[in-house]
Amino acid sequence: MKKDRETLESELRSAKRIEDYLTVNRDSLRDESFEELIARTFRGKGITKAELSRRSNSSTVYIHQVFAGRRCPSRDKLLCLCIGMSAELDETQELLLAAGYAPLRADFPRDVVIMHGLIRWKSLEQINDKLSETQLEQLD
């Protein structure tokens, strides 16, 4: 069974040797690339790339490039893609981390508005409207 991130971090803090930690936790460590993860997440949503394009305000060419690993989306653009595919908050956090970005944080006002929108299944337009209302920077 895979260990959660908190358990892994706790074990890492107490590990004497990194080699032992890596060996013991081999099955719990991420082995999926960002491209594999976003493709897997997308497949589970039952929408087309054309629909994702419309919902995320992204071109279909751009989406194909991201999924093929030829383009790396910015953090904001990745959030738009997550919103467009109706990713859940934990899926969004996982994609952000896999892409090398900071996860959304509940103590940053802009992130709070985005998180609330993800949790409540809001559209990109609705989230951007709320960001604008609260005088926070909109998503691309």
Q: Print the SS3 string covering 63-120.
A: HHHHHHCCCCCCHHHHHHHHHHCCCCHHHHHHHHHHCCCCCCCCCCHHHHHHHHHHHC
Question: What per-residue confidence (pLDDT) applies to 140?
Answer: 81
Q: Walk me through the domains of the chain, giving residue ranges and CATH numbers.
A: 1-30 (no CATH), 32-133 (1.10.260)
**What tokens appear for 57 in the block?**
């305000």
- Amino acid at residue number 107: D
Per the rule left: phi > 0, alpha: psi between -120 and 50, beta: everything else, 138 is beta
Tally of residues, the chain: 140
Exposed e or buried b per residue across 61-89, where buried means at least 16 C-beta atoms within 10 angstroms of its C-beta: ebbeebbeeeeebeeebbbbbbbbbbbeb
Q: Rounded CA gap, 131 and 109, in Å?
A: 9
Render pLDDT for 51-89 as a digit per residue (tens, 0 to 9).
Answer: 999 999 999 999 999 999 999 999 999 999 999 999 999
Render pLDDT for 92-103 as a digit per residue (tens, 0 to 9).
Answer: 999 999 999 999
pLDDT band at residue 38 using 50, 70 and 90 as cut-offs: very high
Question: What per-residue confidence (pLDDT) applies to 109?
Answer: 98
